[in-house]
Chains A and B, each alone.
Chain A
Amino acid sequence: QVQLQESGPGLVKPSGTLSLTCAVSGGSISTSNWWTWVRQPPGKGLEWIGEIYHSGSTNYNPSLKSRVAISVDKFTNQFSLKLTSVAAADTAMYYCARDQRVVGQDAFDIWGQGTMVTVSS
């Protein structure tokens, strides 16, 4: 079955760029699903960051849009997140997830285990 695995640096300096990759295994990234990033600051709730389709179409959280870029690599079956100008408030567990698209019944049905990113000098 499809599995997702996040990877990337666990520590990023303030004002730097956070870069994470999500590897999709057990299935193709080029399906009718969208692929999503979600984050969760320590002790807080979930926040949707954005999503991408295998064609490269994206949607971003309006509150993060100026700093976020999500890309897809169909050849390596991966998608990636870049978040620029990071600050302490960006410290969080970052999850990638599959967004199944069944007419009117969208849902994040498969999640990676998450990767903790700390913003600190």
Chain B
Amino acid sequence: SSELTQDPAVSVALGQTVRITCQGDSLRSHYASWYQQKPGQAPILVIYGKNNRPSGIPDRFSGSSSGNTASLTITGAQAEDEADYYCNSRDSSGDHRVFATGTKVTVL
């Protein structure tokens, strides 16, 4: 079983804001990174560290963390943001990486 958990699915109206959360004890000590995956494609990194976006990622994507919960927020969701989103961090030992179960985001 994964040490990180996410809600299986969320939906958001076009142009509205959606927050995707990732929970796990290891998040009290380690940052999460977030990945977007569209059908038939490899994942891409959208947020890492405290709140860093790789080049080319729109600024409507942001990250935050509090306690054992990391969050990815999409402010003003677009149709192209419909995808699966996965968080990743370290496990409780700190030696290994672990992915959460993923959240399917539907843009209505």
Tell me the A residues contacting B by CB distance below 8 Å. Answer: 36, 38, 45-48, 51, 59-62, 95, 99-100, 102, 104-109, 111-114
Contact = CB atoms under 8 A, between A and B. Distances in A.
Contacts of B54: 109
Given A107-B88, A108-B45, 10 more contacts: A46-B99, A46-B102, A59-B95, A62-B96, A102-B49, A105-B33, A105-B49, A106-B48, A106-B97, A107-B48
A64 to B, nearest CB: 10
Contacts of B99: 38, 45-48
B80 to A, nearest CB: 18
Contacts of A111: 42-44
A95 B97 contact: no
Interface of B: 30-31, 33, 35, 37, 42-45, 48-50, 52, 54, 84, 86, 88, 90, 95-102
Contacts of A51: 97
Given A36-B97, A47-B99, A48-B97, A108 B35 contact: yes
A36 B99 CA distance: 13
A46 B86 contact: yes
B44 A104 contact: no
7 contacts: A48-B99, A95-B42, A105-B31, A105-B33, A107-B88, A109-B45, A112-B42
A112 B14 CA distance: 31
Contact of B86 (A45, A104, A106, A109): A45
Contacts of A61: 96
